[in-house]
Amino acid sequence: MLIVSSDAHRHHHCLELDGAKLIDSWEGPDRADSIDAALLVAGLGPSVEPEPFDRQLVERVHLPDYVDFLSEAWARWVAGGNEAPAAMAFGWPARRFRSIRPRHLNAQLGFYSFAADCSIGAGTWPAAQASAAMADTAARHVAESGQPAFARCRPPGHHAMRDQFGGYCYVNNAAVAAERLIELGAARVAILDVDYHHGNGTQDIFYGRDDVIFCSIHADPLVEFPYFLGHRDETGEGPGEGSNLNLPLPHGTDATAWFEQLDRAALWIKASGAEMLVVSLGVDTFEHDPISRFRLSRSDFTEIGRRIVDLDLPTVLVMEGGYATEELGKNVVEVLSGFSDT
């Protein structure tokens, strides 16, 4: 299995509002360090640097004005005399507000985001570019060779919508990978999201399309972030009707119940006629994850890898969530080992 990684993320570590406190984000550089160390010990690889960032590709899944905003926000923040270490929104266009793009940076930070868990610092855009490039490079490898690849992306991406960042995500890496696979000849690509949280951004990007289908197994949005998408009745619209499957589960879900939904997702993907697979690989379903409430054990992650490979599709695995940092790399290795050993 090819591993695609980069150190460009290292200067991206921002702030988030958590429990009415401003804290260092749960999504820090130590996450990638944990994964890289575990991959090295396990001997999984080889590992390569990503190809250059392809802005035109990214602008096929995100609106160009949103990409412009991300690329310029930090420089504008500094030029405005702000001394805070991260640029954060403090207001959002909520119900009965108009979605008119404002001119002021502080207002744009709200216009282009949906949560206060996500800020922009000096290293954010370079890290997001590298993360998207990792997913793109992994997708190219799979399309050209038919062999699997793992993009060790940081920051993650599945919460990033067409024109909004949030949930630690800025560019939707899984969407970038799927778009590249379509460009390189796949008639239909399936995205399977196994992160604890719903991939609201991925759903948003492909909701009206039928060439990329999306399935997410996640905590019920009635009680869990991102709260406002991820319900069972969201099945797609227009040409995409029937191409979106949400499988929400309650807090406390154990492996037995979770794997029942993975089997359901697998049947749906097999019936779809998808030719290639992108996996949004979150391992925050782990029983000891500090911000999640499912109960999967380390051995369950091995089984996830085995069941994914049983789909028998050329596969790109893209890193998403997982915040039990000391265990994170080991859990990721379990998935990749289960995938590779079958």
For CA atoms 34, 161, 128, 181, give the dihedral sign.
positive
Rounded Cα distance between 212 and 200, Å, is 15
Question: Scanning the structure block, which residue is given the tokens 């992160």?
Answer: 195
Phi, psi of 264 (to 5 degrees): -65, -45
Q: State how far the alpha carbon of 176 is from the alpha carbons of 183, 213, 215, 294, in Å.
A: 11, 14, 16, 28
CB 181 within 8 A of CB 142: yes
- Known catalytic residues are 159
Instruction: Give Cβ neighbours of residue 168 (< 8 Å, ≥ 6 apart).
Output: 16, 25, 26, 27, 117, 118, 155, 156, 159, 321
Strands (E), the chain: 2-4, 15-18, 21-24, 47-48, 149-151, 189-193, 212-219, 244-249, 276-281, 315-319
Max Cα distance, the chain (Å): 56
Torsion of CA 242, 193, 303, 254, to 10 degrees: -90
* CA 278 vs CA 108, 139, 257, 340: distances in Å: 31, 9, 23, 16
* Burial group, residue 214, by CB count within 10 angstroms (0-12, 13-18, 19+): buried
Q: CA–CA separation, 45 vs 324, rounded Å?
A: 23
